[in-house]
Amino acid sequence: MMSSRRDFLKQASALALAFGLPSGALFASGTRFTAIRRNVGMYSNSGGTIGWLINDSATVVVDSQYPDPAADALKGFRERRDAPVDVLFNTHHHGDHTGGNGVMQAKTIIAHDRVPDLQRQQNARIAPVVADQTFSREWTDTFGDETVTARHFGAAHTGGDSIIHFENANVAHMGDLVFNRVYPFIDRAGGASISGWVRVLDTAIRSFDTETVLLFGHGNPNFGVQGNRADLLVMKAYLQALLDHTARGLRTGNNREVITSEVQLPGFEDFISFGPRLSLMANLNAAFDELSTQ
């Protein structure tokens, strides 16, 4: 429990910096390296959950957190297989998922088409390390006895989210498409769409089975960052509830202040907030903006 608490606090501080939140509040974690199934596992430290595949043929990594945790993760990867990272996927452009790209020194970085430009826009003062291979809908390759497929189902948390599926292990990294029982960051400036997010999760639900292990970018410490299809249903239902609440308010002539003043949506009492940008009010404001422009 002490290890989990330390990891929780580290991730709290790092994501507080990423999202401009007060230090000391944030997301769930767990032990640093966790093996899951068939040479696939996850790494938790400061930032979005890292996924990994390490077998005799390759080291494949999903997301890179920040430079310091990336260095720690890389050390662990090299202890397991003394070779460079072959492929690094970025599930989207946010700094807590891409900030360690340069440290990983992967042979290839892969992301959706929109991710490099979104990274550059977010880091206008520096030249971020961005993907050298991109895809629009799907990318797939085989590494030893594992097939890895990256898919983009449309705009959701950002305009460039992708899901990385280790098919034989049946483990999928969802990136920030799931904030597990946490009010999510809806990055409208980065191309987010709440209605699109609902559709993306619906596609993901139909794409995976009850045996699929799902990894989430962030999570409530009581629920963690590893789950299954049932957690996708909860996330989808929450996003739809945001839209429904906002649409009802608009139909009855309520203004932004009234619509966004709700303190809790019924059925989602387990959701928690970490500062103004990851809160129900911020989510309702994003829904108001989205529906007001349709």
DSSP structure string for 114-173: THHHHHHHHTTTS-----SEEESSEEEEEETTEEEEEE--SSSSSSS--EEEETTTTEEE
pLDDT, position 11: 40
Q: Using only the alpha carbons of the chain, give its radius of gyration.
A: 18
User: What is the C-alpha to C-alpha distance for residues 173 and 227, in angstroms, rounded to an integer?
Assistant: 10
Higher pLDDT, 28 or 251: 251
Which pLDDT belongs to residue 89? 98
pLDDT of 38 above 50: yes
With a cut of 70, say whether residue 291 has pLDDT above it: yes
Task: Please tell me which residue, 9 or 45, carries the higher pLDDT value.
Answer: 45
Quick one: what percent of the chain has pLDDT higher than 70?
89
Indicate whether 194 pLDDT > 70. Answer: yes
For residue 20, pLDDT beyond 70: no
Would you state the pLDDT for residue 274? Answer: 84
Give residue 31's pLDDT.
Answer: 58
pLDDT at 18: 41
Q: Which domains does the chain have, with CATH numbers?
A: 2-292 (3.60.15.10)
Q: What's the whole-number mean pLDDT along residues 87-109?
A: 97
Is residue 284 within 8 Å of 245, Cβ to Cβ? yes
Residue 101 in this model has a pLDDT that exceeds 70: yes
237 vs 29, higher pLDDT: 237
Q: Is pLDDT of 193 > 60? A: yes
What one-letter code names the amino acid at 112? H
Confidence of residue 267 (pLDDT cuts 50, 70, 90): very high
Measure the CA–CA gap between 52 and 278, rounded to whole angstroms. Answer: 27
Residue-wise pLDDT for 200-253, tens only, equals 999 999 999 999 999 999 999 999 999 999 999 999 999 999 999 999 999 999
pLDDT of 8? 36
Contacts of 159 (CB under 8 A, 6+ apart): 114, 118, 190, 191, 192, 193
Residue 2 has pLDDT above 50, yes or no: no
Q: What is the pLDDT of residue 275?
A: 84
Mean pLDDT, residues 56-80: 96
pLDDT > 60? residue 19? no
Q: For the segment 120-163, what is each residue's pLDDT rounded down to a tens digit?
A: 998 878 899 999 999 999 999 999 999 999 999 999 999 999 99
Q: What is the pLDDT of residue 4?
A: 37
| Alpha carbon distance 243, 201 (integer Å) | 15
Instruction: Check residues 149 and 10 and name the one with the higher pLDDT.
Output: 149
Q: How far apart are CA 64 and CA 49, in angstroms?
A: 8
Predicted local confidence at residue 125, as pLDDT: 85
**Considering the chain, what is the average pLDDT of its residues?**
90
Q: Are 46 and 64 in contact (CB under 8 A)?
A: no
Mean pLDDT within 98-123: 96
- The closest alpha carbon to 18, from 153, 201, 217, belongs to 217
CA 228 to CA 236: how far, in whole Å? 13
